[in-house]
Amino acid sequence: MDRFAETEGKRVHDPLFHPRRSATTTGFPVGGKFVHVPGPVIVGAGPGGLAVAACLAAQGVTTYALLERYECVASLWRHRTYHRLKLHLPKRFCELPMMPFPESFPTYPTREQFLDYLEDYALTYSIRPMFRQNVVSAEYDGEYWIVRTKEVITAAIDGEEAVLSSTTTEYRSKWLVVATGENAEPVVPDIDGIDTFKGQVMHSSDYRTGEGFEGKKVLVVGCGNSVHVLPREIIGYSTFGLSALLLRWLPIHVVDRIILLLSRLVLGDTARLGIPRPSVGPMELKKVSGKTPVLDVGTIDKIKSGDIRVLPGIQSFQEHGVEFIDGKIVDFDVVILATGYKSNVPFWLKDNGFFSEKNGFPRKPNEWKGQNGLYAIGFSRRGLLGVSMDATKIADDIVQCYHKIDNGRQKSK
């Protein structure tokens, strides 16, 4: 990420930045910086934030502010994913607007290839995020969106992490694009007795590789059992691509029947392996609840061979093991909580209309536009394909308003 480091020095001389003029009524510290942003403020430099920024730049709007709390783009992909990760959908369904994956990339790019693609995407469209800008609040004051951030610079001194400086900034814009996505924060469930467990407990966001676990008994909590398990490919075709093709011509319930029949031929009866299927079909379930099917890349074979055991729900933790709901107690050395992620929007966005305070998603499914210049990207539960589609719509909408305001400024001169 050295190619982006120069941003930190350049922004000190950015004409948009000014010393803070006065204290705010919300208690935001005095002495920070005040920034008027002619274009939108985009929160989050993941695929969604990058896509919106690129679409804006392609239409001549480069006066946006892209805020990222970490020191790199796509921080979730870089810091919270395991090393062997590959995209589970073919690359054509995962590309961002205006830039396909390189032809040399395989059908299912690796984690490192995807990160390289995102870095190249940012360079191609001259996207320069403002790193280490942790958004602590955002609210609409009747005319502008006021976005407040805190930047903390730390360094290791004598083996300890020390805070070198802390800077606050207030950004003001007519538009706010929430691009923090569905998976901003890990979900850690409160399971009875978990604090008494003497072994290692970690969230899957901290898992990188199986090295170090050899010879240990590991329990993975959470297997996506509220959704369907489908093969990644059926008769040589992507299951996702095949479903999308069939949905062009057939009703969703018919497509579900076809996909489930083919999946049974490939995987067998998963219920016999301890993974019963939901009563609602995979495509319909995704449509009504946003729950995406799990695409199998080898786990089912490992279950059939006995290398992986499927166990019932957890009743409670013990000092050295776990009691399950069937009454059995099994000892484990390590517990990995594959219990998912959640949106963090309710913690910083002061808005009770567009986003739900319960789950941090837009209240209406697939909604990308709120009121007063508020937008959401990465919350449609349609993966990177949905991100690409929403980025184009958001940018088009902002550009239209932006040019109206800009034309008004020109006429008033």
Residue 151, C-beta contacts closer than 8 angstroms, at least 6 positions apart: 132, 133, 134, 166, 167, 168, 169
Please report where in the chains the tokens 């890990």 appear, as a residue.
Answer: 186
Confidence of residue 21 (pLDDT cuts 50, 70, 90): very low
Torsion of CA 237, 240, 242, 243, to 10 degrees: 160
- 407 strand-pairing partners: none
Within 10 Å of residue 398's Cβ, how many Cβ atoms? 25
The H-or-E segment that residue 315 falls in is strand 314-317
Can you give the pLDDT at residue 203? 95
Cα separations in angstroms, 160 against 153, 155, 156, 165: 14, 8, 5, 15
pLDDT at 5 over 60: no
Instruction: Give the CA diameter of the chain.
Output: 78
Can you give the pLDDT at residue 81? 93
CA distance 43 to 348: 11
Can you give the pLDDT at residue 382? 86
Can you give the pLDDT at residue 406? 65
CATH 3.50.50.60 fits 186-337, yes or no: yes
Cα separations in angstroms, 339 against 188, 225, 248, 294, 383: 7, 11, 34, 14, 18
Please write the tens of the pLDDT for every residue from 266-324.
Answer: 999 999 998 989 999 999 988 887 778 889 999 999 999 999 999 998 999 999 999 99
Query: Where are the alpha helices (H) located in 223-330, listed in sequence order?
Result: 239-247, 252-267, 282-289, 299-305
pLDDT at 97 over 90: yes
CATH code for residues 33-184+341-412: 3.50.50.60
CA atoms within 13 A on the CB side of 411: 6
Please write the tens of the pLDDT for every residue from 352-365.
Answer: 689 998 889 999 88
Can you give the pLDDT at residue 143? 94
CA distance 3 to 245: 40
Cα separations in angstroms, 224 against 239, 257, 313: 18, 21, 12
Can you give the pLDDT at residue 132? 92
pLDDT average, residue stretch 185-201: 93
More confident call, 366 vs 67? 67
Can you give the pLDDT at residue 102? 96
Domain ranges of the chain: 33-184+341-412, 186-337
Confidence of residue 217 (pLDDT cuts 50, 70, 90): very high
pLDDT average, residue stretch 217-229: 83
Can you give the pLDDT at residue 68? 96
CA distance 67 to 200: 35
Can you give the pLDDT at residue 25? 35
pLDDT at 403 over 90: no
Judge whether 33-184+341-412 and 186-337 match in fold.
yes
Please write the tens of the pLDDT for every residue from 233-252.
Answer: 998 889 999 999 999 999 99
Q: Which of 379, 360, 399 is nearest to 49 (CA)?
A: 379
* Residue 127: burial class (beta carbons within 10 Å; 0-12, 13-18, 19+): buried
Percentage of the chain exceeding pLDDT 90? 71
